[in-house]
Structure 1
Amino acid sequence: MDLKTYLKSYNIKVTKCRLKVLKILSDANDALTVEKIYKTCNDEGKIADLSTVYRSLDLFEEKNVVSKVDLGNGKYSYKIKGETHKHILKCNMCNKEIEIECPMDQVEEIIKNKTGFVLIDHELKMKALCKDCMDKANNEKKV
Structure 2
Amino acid sequence: MNIENVLRQNSIKVTKARRTIFNIILNSENSISAEFIYNACVETGEDINLSTVYRTLELFEEKEIVDKFDLGEGRYTYCIKKNSHMHTLRCSLCNKEIDVPCPMHQVEELVKNKTGFTLTEHHLILKGICEECKNKKS
| Cα deviation, residue 44, structure 1 | 1.4
8 Å contact 1:16–1:47 — kept in the other structure? no
Partner of 2:2: 2
Deviations 1:63-94 (A, max 9, x none): 11111111111111111111111111111112
- How far apart are the structure 2 equivalents of 1:100 and 1:68? 18
Aligned length, in residue pairs: 138
Give the structure-1-normalised TM-score: 0.91
1:39 maps to a residue whose letter is N
2:107 maps to a residue whose letter is V
8 Å contact 2:88–2:126 — kept in the other structure? no
Deviates further, 53-62 or 24-33: 24-33
Identity across aligned pairs (percent)?
47
Which ranges of 4 or more aligned residues in structure 1 deviate by more than 3 Å?
none
- How far apart are the structure 1 equivalents of 2:134 and 2:118? 36
| Cα deviation, residue 46, structure 1 | 4.0
State the superposition RMSD in angstroms.
1.2
Unaligned runs of 5+ in 2: none
- How far apart are the structure 1 equivalents of 2:15 and 2:34? 18
Partner of 2:26: 26
Give the structure-2-normalised TM-score: 0.94
| Cα deviation, residue 47, structure 1 | 2.2
Partner of 2:104: 104
8 Å contact 1:71–1:110 — kept in the other structure? yes
